[in-house]
Amino acid sequence: MKRTFTLALLSTLLLQGCVWSPGQYLHRDDLKTNGSIEGTKVELIPITSAYLKSHDSVNPTADTGNWQELLKYHPAAYRVGKADLLYITVWDHPELTAPSGAQQQIEANGRLVRPDGTIFYPYVGTLTAEGKTLEEIRKVISTRLATFIDNPQVDVSVLRFGSQKVTLSGAFTKGDSIPLTTVPMTLVEALGQANVDTQTADLSGLTLVRDGKEYRLDADTLNRKDSKLYGVYLKDGDSIHLPYNDNRKVYVMGEVRSPLAANFKTTSLTLMDALGQAGGLNQETADADEVYVIRGPENFNSSPAAKAQVFHLSASSPTAFVLAQHFALQPQDVVFVGPAGITRWNRFVSQLLGSSNVLSSTANANQSFK
């Protein structure tokens, strides 16, 4: 797996040193000669405009899967269910509308739909509310009240929605669930209410589960005006999960200002993005001709013949960063910037002088004891 290869590679880079200087290094001439990293076969690929034209890595064809099926669902009129709290108004008859006598305490005069799906109303008796629309319930009550009241004027509304909901999990600041109401709710509206944690969320991994079927979506496309995801309506029982981005990252190492692990927050992360997050190349120590992206094979554990890919960018000219802006990274990639020759020499001299000082101190100490 890529992750296994990445860990092995990181260990190698951390431990590997030049025969005459400390620090990490990687040179394309060595890759051309040996064709391997620690026994793993390597394919060296220059990052050029020709390569990028034949590999549209920043804007790959989206794997839309079967999510278009979601567009076929259009909510019908709201149907009452268990745990909904109804408010029934009979105009000019406050004794029916507010039997408790306190009209200001509206919820106290509500009619809760029982576990068996029924409610009780004076002069109407017990009636089944579950599965009916508000208009259907209104007609039943009006018909039964007509025996006692001349031309009753009845209105039915929902005070509190408790029967239908959508559950949320993952990188939301307001998780748990969202009730569905008489106003149809879209996926976009639900994400807005749940408040996505954009710093920790993997927007490309949004999942909606409906009727036991999983739909993979890209929440990042919701920001686009032409996105069809605006037309996805939610239904009772839907489950929305937005994963965290802690498992989707690339590692930027070597001669950059601030080595780091850069997280994916959207579908793509370019080489330019990663270098930018790391503060760019260290102009004093980096060899701009030695910028690499190291990508492990998919089946590193199961296939000894699997090849890793090492992409090379010669960034000695600032225009090369145009190429970096169009090269998409993948999770577990390692971005490595090699040191300049003078940097390696200076480190060697510093280490050598440090060793000389230790030897000199030891010799002086021995003389002191004589």
Q: Which of 160-174, 209-223, 310-324 has the highest mean pLDDT?
A: 160-174
Q: Which fold has domain 23-58+267-339?
A: Outer membrane lipoprotein wza fold like (3.10.560)
Query: Which carries the bigger pLDDT value, residue 264 or residue 336?
Result: 336
21-40 pLDDT per residue, tens: 455 556 666 665 556 666 66
Q: Report residue 107 as tokens.
A: 């919820």
Instruction: Please indicate whether residue 221 or residue 108 has the higher confidence score (pLDDT).
Output: 108
The pLDDT value recorded for residue 348 is 43
Smallest CA-to-CA distance from 57 within 309, 279, 338 is with 309
CATH 3.30.1950.10 residue ranges for the chain: 82-158
Answer yes or no: is pLDDT of 231 > 60.
Answer: yes
Mean pLDDT, range 76-89, rounded to an integer:
96
Largest CA distance in the chain: 123
Closest CA to 88 of 42, 122, 41: 122
Q: Scan for tokens 């601030």, then name that residue.
A: 258
Tell me the residue type at 271: L
Torsion over CA: 88, 93, 95, 101 (sign) = positive
- Tell me if residue 274 falls in helix, strand or coil: helix
pLDDT of residue 183: 96
Q: pLDDT digits over 251-302, tens only?
A: 999 999 999 998 887 778 899 999 999 999 998 889 989 899 999 887 655 5
Highest mean pLDDT among 7-16, 152-161, 290-299, 356-365: 152-161
CA-CA-CA-CA torsion for 80, 160, 208, 176, nearest 10 degrees?
-140
Task: End-to-end CA distance of the chain: give it in Å, rounded.
Answer: 61
Classify domain 82-158 at the CATH topology level.
wza like fold (3.30.1950)
How confident is the model at residue 62, as a pLDDT? Answer: 44
Query: What's the confidence (pLDDT) of residue 169?
Result: 94
**The CATH homologous superfamily of the domain defined by 66-73+163-240:** Outer membrane lipoprotein wza domain like (3.10.560.10)
Q: What pLDDT does 23 receive?
A: 54
* Percent of all residues in the chain with a pLDDT value above 90, rounded to a whole number: 47
Q: Give the pLDDT of residue 250.
A: 92
**What is the predicted pLDDT for the residue at 265?**
76
Q: What is the pLDDT of residue 25?
A: 56
**Residue 214: pLDDT above 70?**
yes
Average pLDDT value for residue range 57-84: 78
**Res. 205 pLDDT band, cuts 50 70 90:** confident
CB atoms within 10 A of CB 31: 17
pLDDT at position 204 is 82
Q: Determine the Cα–Cα distance for residues 142 and 334; give it in Å rounded to an integer.
A: 71
* pLDDT score of 299: 60
Sign of CA dihedral 263, 267, 273, 274: positive
Beta strands 334-339 and 286-295 are: antiparallel
**Structure confidence at residue 108 (pLDDT):** 78
Q: What angle do CA 354, 9, 336 make, to 5 degrees?
A: 70
pLDDT > 80? residue 357: no
Separation in Å, CA 221 to CA 81, 203, 225 = 34, 9, 9
Share above pLDDT 70 across residues of the chain, in percent, rounded to a whole number: 73
Summarize the confidence of residues 159-166 as an average pLDDT: 96
List, by residue range, all CATH 3.10.560.10 domains of the chain. Answer: 23-58+267-339, 66-73+163-240
**Per-residue pLDDT at 177 exceeds 90:** yes
Q: Report the residue count for the chain.
A: 370
Average pLDDT of the chain is 81
**In the predicted model, what is the mean pLDDT of residues 188-211?**
89
Q: What is the pLDDT of residues 48-67, one digit of tens each?
A: 999 998 876 555 444 445 77
User: Model confidence over 125-146: pLDDT tens digits?
Assistant: 999 999 999 999 999 999 999 9
